[in-house]
């Protein structure tokens, strides 16, 4: 198995690290395949309550590796525009696999996140960024159209006008500017990014796991639902949570003025 992406699980937090510093953690076939393999490992892991994604060196992920793009674009086994379209879907599927996880995900953007690297950060629920990192979707400056859902996620995160500015100019901004735009929870020194993200992950992991997963699911459904529909979703999820042992533990801990110990039951 390739070591292009490493996986470490400690204290109920999984950390996925893009580990091809010499290649700027770009989207080579090896790195994408390794990322998909690590996600398969995570799907079988017990009691992972939060996932952190980060990179090595000065890059979180620099996007496409055009030196190996011919290999990637041949993966569909088809020719012409249809083949290119299917290959593009396959290229992005590894990173987009994070969307299948019910547990919260955090992008610890240790360095530059450009193009598909920006897309990887966007599919996570939270982002902590290096204040000096370069952030952006430079597709139009390469004569390309944005991909990997960037056109969907970015305006919902930072607003239509800000997203249009970045997508239509291909401009790169600093992590500090990206945090001001609302892209990240906060921008910190590069060497503090992973520890900040891990602290947040531990805070998430300390909460009742089923309640967290259910809340994440309802939260995203609520973005495209009516208030009445959301109330129904909440009532259903709340009734399930209330019937679990974790709810009893949480309330008991509150009354006893101690930290709860949730077991996910």
> What is the CATH number for 64?
3.90.226.10
Residue 69 CB-density burial (10 A; 0-12 exposed, 13-18 middle, 19+ buried): middle
Longest Cα–Cα distance in the chain: 66
16 and 79, same domain (yes or no)? yes
117 and 171, same domain (yes or no)? yes
105 phi and psi, to 5 degrees?
Answer: -125, 145
Under the phi-then-psi rule, with left for phi > 0, alpha for psi from -120 to 50, and beta for the rest, what region is 184?
A: beta
**What is the rounded distance in angstroms from the CA atom of residue 74 to the CA atom of residue 83?**
8
- Residue range of the domain that includes 157: 5-205
Asked if residue 262 belongs to a domain, the reply is no
Q: What's the pLDDT score for residue 238?
A: 96
pTM of this structure: 0.93
Asked if residue 38 belongs to a domain, the reply is yes
Ordered mean pLDDT values, 10 residues apiece, the chain (265 residues) = 93 98 94 96 95 97 80 59 71 93 98 97 98 97 94 97 98 98 97 98 97 96 95 96 96 96 93
Is residue 92 a contact partner of residue 172, using CB atoms and an 8 Å limit?
A: no
117 and 221, same domain (yes or no)? no
**What is the rounded distance in angstroms from the CA atom of residue 113 to the CA atom of residue 135?**
5
Asked if residue 225 belongs to a domain, the reply is yes
Is residue 19 a contact partner of residue 54, using CB atoms and an 8 Å limit?
A: no
Asked if residue 71 belongs to a domain, the reply is yes
114 phi and psi, to 5 degrees?
Answer: -130, 140
145 and 233, same domain (yes or no)? no
DSSP notation for 68-95: SHHHHHTTTS--HHHHHHHHHHHHHHHH
Report the domain count for the chain. Answer: 2
């Amino acid at each position: 198995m390739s070591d292009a992406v490493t996986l470490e699980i400690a204290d109920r937090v999984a950390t996925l690290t893009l580990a091809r510093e010499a290649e700027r953690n770009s989207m080579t076939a090896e790195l994408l395949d390794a990322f998909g393999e690590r996600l398969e490992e995570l799907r079988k892991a017990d009691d992972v309550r939060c996932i952190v994604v980060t990179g090595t060196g000065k890059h979180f992920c620099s996007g496409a590796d055009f030196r190996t793009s011919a290999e990637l674009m041949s993966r569909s086994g088809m020719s012409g525009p249809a083949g290119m379209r299917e290959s593009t879907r396959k290229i992005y599927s590894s990173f987009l696999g994070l969307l299948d996880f019910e547990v919260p995900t955090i992008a610890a953007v240790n360095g530059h996140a450009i193009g598909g690297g920006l897309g990887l950060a966007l599919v996570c629920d939270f982002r902590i960024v290096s204040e000096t990192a370069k952030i952006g979707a430079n597709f139009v400056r390469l004569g390309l159209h944005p991909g990997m859902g960037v056109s969907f996620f970015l305006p919902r995160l930072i607003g239509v006008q800000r997203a249009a500015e970045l997508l239509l100019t291909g401009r790169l901004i600093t992590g500090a500017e990206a945090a001001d735009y609302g892209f990240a929870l906060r921008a910190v020194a590069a060497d503090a990014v992973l520890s900040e993200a891990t602290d947040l992950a531990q805070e998430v992991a300390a909460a009742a796991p089923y309640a967290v997963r259910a809340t994440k699911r309802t939260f995203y459904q609520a973005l495209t639902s009516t208030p009445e529909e959301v109330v129904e979703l909440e009532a259903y999820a709340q009734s399930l949570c209330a019937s679990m042992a974790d709810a009893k533990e949480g309330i008991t801990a509150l009354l006893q003025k101690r930290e709860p110990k949730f077991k996910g039951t």
